Amino acid sequence: MIKRTRRTLALLSAALLSAAAAGCSTGGRPAPAGPGSAGAPPGTARSATPAARGFTLVASGDVLPHTSVIQRAAADAGGDGYDFRPMFSAVKPVVSAADLALCHMETIYGDDDGPFSGYPAFVSPPTVADALKDAGYDGCSTASNHSLDDGAEGVKRTLDRFDKVGLGHAGSARTAAEAARTTLYTAGSAKVAHLAYTYDTNGYPLPDGQPWAVNLTSQDKILADARAARKAGADVVLVSLHWGTEWQTEPDETQLALGKALTASRTGGRPDVDMILGTHAHIPQAYEKVNGTWIVYGMGDQVAGEMFNDSGARDLRGNYGSIARFTFAPPAAPGQRWRVTAAEFVPQMMDLSTGRIVELPAALAQDPGNAEYETAQDAITEAVLSRDAAKDGLKRAAR
């Protein structure tokens, strides 16, 4: 997200191994299972037996703690560290109700006692991860243009904290072995792989001897990783992409072309990628079904301070976002894909006056005359539906 000098971090979480190595799975709301578990050999989709269970997926946008956000967390901690949990309290019911909930951690973490910083090179308090876990997230994508804002040490500190609180992670890594593993979660009776990539790291080079530290976007690599995840036993393959043009509602040509190519790719007649979850633009972008596969071009910011667009003007859209919520059902027959049977989005905004994320449908149900919230929800809805996703069944959640 914000382009210039910064780095985010995060490494790939633990879970199934790619084709070249055997692995153990990681993350997930139910206890994660190993490759080929539940009696299914690696790469084999489960059939629609009575034991097969669908699942709900929730995904959300950039967590970007500016200095003002860090100061709010310090105030909420009452002078004892940094407490980000109150910020997420309103979206906790949505997040925790999902079988699998994924966030995007834009920035990297510092030491427990700091120092911390906001734009342009972000170093965030590690207790952000504690708040994400408390809100009900199972894991996050950690590949962004800020992944290397504090070099390899920043990546390590971030992933260490994720491990400590029990969050999965995909997109950055501390070791080559970790980078080679697929992050896998168990949701319902499905094994769900999570892959993550970023377009750039704000000009920071990958650390010496660590070309695997952050996943950079490459169509060939994404598809190779997706096929490896499938061979390792993944029923559903989710791809998080840090991409697009900041402050632009419409997906750019790269997003459109890459999205089309990834959703068109098939192995044995089955799609290699089951969903694309986009971040980076700082404002809500459209959802669209392409080649039968849902693409969320951009979910906007979930947590951010005061945002200024490319012209230098304060832009309220930088505090708007959507939470994507999809329901997956088991395949109708062996070898087929898991099907999305319900597609929803939940409008949300970061209310800077309170330092809290607002779940807009719920807030407006309680306060229907709130003009600020109505404006935000209308703007988010217009952006999300701007590519006619409603015709494919996408709906705004009522609560």
- pLDDT of 52 > 70? The answer is yes
Per-residue pLDDT tens over the stretch 272-285: 999 999 999 999 99
Asked whether residue 259 is domain-assigned, the answer is yes
Asked whether residue 105 is domain-assigned, the answer is yes
| The predicted structure's pLDDT at residue 17 | 32
The percentage of residues in the chain with a pLDDT greater than 90, rounded to a whole number, is 85
pTM (2 decimals)?
0.88
Asked whether residue 104 is domain-assigned, the answer is yes
What is the arithmetic mean of pLDDT over 342-352? 98
The CATH code of the domain that includes 179 is 3.60.21
What is the arithmetic mean of pLDDT over 313-318? 98
Asked whether residue 27 is domain-assigned, the answer is no
Asked whether residue 142 is domain-assigned, the answer is yes
What is the arithmetic mean of pLDDT over 17-39? 36
Cα 231 to chain center, whole Å?
Answer: 23
Asked whether residue 359 is domain-assigned, the answer is yes
Please provide the average confidence, as pLDDT, over all residues in the chain: 90
Number of domains composing the chain: 1
Asked whether residue 278 is domain-assigned, the answer is yes
The percentage of residues in the chain with a pLDDT greater than 70, rounded to a whole number, is 87
Asked whether residue 33 is domain-assigned, the answer is no
Structural contact between residues 213 and 172, judged by C-beta atoms closer than 8 angstroms: yes
| Structural domain containing residue 128 | 55-396
